[in-house]
Chains A and B, each alone.
Chain A
Amino acid sequence: MMLDIRDLSVVFTDRGAPFTAVDRFSLQMEEGEIVGIVGESGSGKSMTAHALMGLIRRSAVTVSGSAVFEGTDLLPLSRAELRQYQGRDLSIIFQEPMTSLNPTMRIGKQVEESLRIHEKLSRAERKARALDAMALAGLPDPEEVYRQYPHQLSGGMRQRVMIASALVLRPRLLIADEPTTALDVTIQAQILETLKDINRKEGTAILFISHDLGVVKALCSRVVVMKQGEIVESGPVDDVFYHPREDYTKLLIASRPKREKLRGGGDNE
């Protein structure tokens, strides 16, 4: 087993009464698997991912439970120990491609950054591997994009840059935190296709987080449904999609815009 999360809880103690954002979350993932987490905003799905990546380590947040990745529990690691995993074995892409890139740094440098941090390579080797990752992420004309700045790219392109920089060290696990939510429907489909390709070619396991059960169905083999920090339902994606046991899951399915509506030019999100 590649990843074994058991009873992961995230409790905020910032103001007044403690707030439990994630409550005893458990999930097992195998190499090369694509697993989805769905739920509405505030259900704790992103928080779970960020806790796993070590991105919410603050004194006012208590993260408990265990998250064993390749035999090592990530949660008790020190910041310095965890950094050895971040960007190398575990990578993440975020919901907001418009703001997740440094506006004053060239794309190439941002894509190479994990290489610079984790490996000793010459400038030329770094560039070659960055261009390679950019091609893998489906960026047209990587050489050109390498020299550009984020503001010169569209949202979809920026998300591909994020994917390239997450994949540059070929991590075992990619966490995709609502990667297509901020994008157009057509771009969304293309990005999903790219993620599928990467999974197939590189065997990268993907933990895919979305509020859209339809998108999860198109990509994942298994799905976990979250509500208010807790898992309400989980299983193979087709089972959950076609035979939901929980009312909440039914609601999530029903809230998807129908294909007919889309064609009719309805006001989907």
Chain B
Amino acid sequence: MGKTLLKRAGLLIGTLLLVSMLAFVAFSVIPGDPTDSILGIEATEEQRLALRAQLGLDQPIYQRYWSWLTAFVTGDFGQSYKYNMPVSGLVAAQAKVTLVLAAVSFVLIVVISLPLGLISARHQGGIVDRVVTVLTQVTMSVPNFIMGLGLMFLFALVLKWFEPKYIPLEDGLGAHLRFMVFPALAIALPKSAMTVKLLRGSILGEMGQDYIRTAYSKGNSQGSALWRHVLRNAMIPVVTFLAMAIGDIMAGSIVVEQVFTIPGLGRILISSIGNRDYPVVQAIVVLLAGVVVLCNFLADLLYRVMDPRIDGR
């Protein structure tokens, strides 16, 4: 297990390095220059060159990457070109908003899909199952920004359950979360639909296994066979799926933030890409990748706990 952890940790760091490198290379390939947005288009060539030298942009890419990396590992994320302030301060507040949105989405996925998957598998072919099957089919095929617009229309404009205006955490945790539930729902619903479908199939698959027949032969009721035997085995693929979904949830957050005008990472990321504000983009990309890789790492550990067959590999 220790060796596995070490290997996994190495993989985690390697992935982050690779992601940061790719982001760096991508930025040097796309056209546009940060000096344009800082100095405006009327600046002289001398001013431009001076600023490039000041920002270190005249150096070759590997040198720039190296100096960014060495600063990054010491916790110095650099200065934003555009806002002329440390990236860490700029990103931290926004990151908190996006992480809350992603976390609420994840909780919603779990809360929505586990009971529905269980019920529809247990009463296969029943009314609930049939309704759920149709709903999941529909929900799965709606992209999350459309879902966001739909929810906004339904809950804010028609039902008036919430004001379509962002409520920051400073206004109270309750109010903040109450607002966040709706954009989170936009992200969670399509993913929940997939999770329900996966869990239902997984449970039904396990129900047909020989060991469930054994469980019944010992006098288990259907309910206890489900709880004590099926669920843990059926959850193994679902846990893997949920871990992979976290990447999609983060990406979904960035899109849905635009729909609900939430000042999260999405907004600053998009404007920073427009401004060619490398240090900000770089920090956000690495942060997002870090969250995804870390969650996958945790899922992997959980997976090992749940399935004793994968041990020490």
- B-contacting residues of A (Cβ < 8 Å)? 53, 55, 79-80, 83-88, 91-92, 94, 96, 99-105, 113-114, 117-118, 149, 151, 162, 165
Contacts and interface: CB of A to CB of B under 8 A. Distances in A.
B215 A102 contact: yes
Interface string B215-237: 11111110010000100110010
B59 interface: no
Given A103-B233, A104-B308, A151-B309, A96 B219 contact: no
A99 B214 CA distance: 10
Nearest to A79: B221
A166 to B, nearest CB: 8
Contact of B217 (A80, A87, A99, A102): A87
B171 interface: no
Q: Which 9 A-B pairs have CB atoms at the shortest separation, nearest pair first?
A: A87-B218, A86-B219, A99-B210, A87-B219, A149-B308, A83-B219, A102-B211, A114-B218, A117-B219
Contact of B219 (A88, A94, A99): A88
B124 to A, nearest CB: 12
Nearest to A175: B217
Contacts of A113: 215, 218, 220
A86 B219 CA distance: 5
Given A104-B232, A104-B233, A151 B221 contact: no
A229 to B, nearest CB: 21
Among B211, B215, B224, B232, which residue has the most Cβ atoms of chain A within 10 A? B211
Contacts of A100: 210-211, 213-214
Among B210, B214, B221, which residue has the most Cβ atoms of chain A within 10 A? B214
B36 interface: no
B306 interface: yes
Interface of B: 209-211, 213-221, 224, 229, 232-233, 236, 306-309
Contacts of A117: 218-220, 224
Contacts of A104: 232-233, 236, 306-309
Contacts of B309: 103-104, 149, 151
26 contacts: A53-B217, A55-B216, A55-B217, A83-B219, A86-B216, A86-B219, A87-B219, A94-B210, A99-B210, A100-B213, A100-B214, A102-B215, A102-B229, A102-B233, A103-B233, A104-B233, A104-B236, A104-B307, A113-B218, A113-B220, A114-B219, A117-B224, A149-B308, A151-B308, A151-B309, A165-B218
A236 B1 CA distance: 57
B217 A103 contact: no
A151 B312 CA distance: 14
A105 B210 contact: no
Nearest to B209: A99
Contacts of A83: 219-221
Nearest to B222: A79
B279 to A, nearest CB: 47
B218 A101 contact: no
A102 B206 CA distance: 10
A207 to B, nearest CB: 14
Contacts of B306: 104
A99 B211 contact: yes
Given A55-B216, A102-B233, A162-B214, 12 more contacts: A80-B221, A83-B220, A86-B217, A86-B218, A87-B217, A99-B211, A102-B211, A104-B233, A104-B309, A114-B218, A117-B220, A117-B224
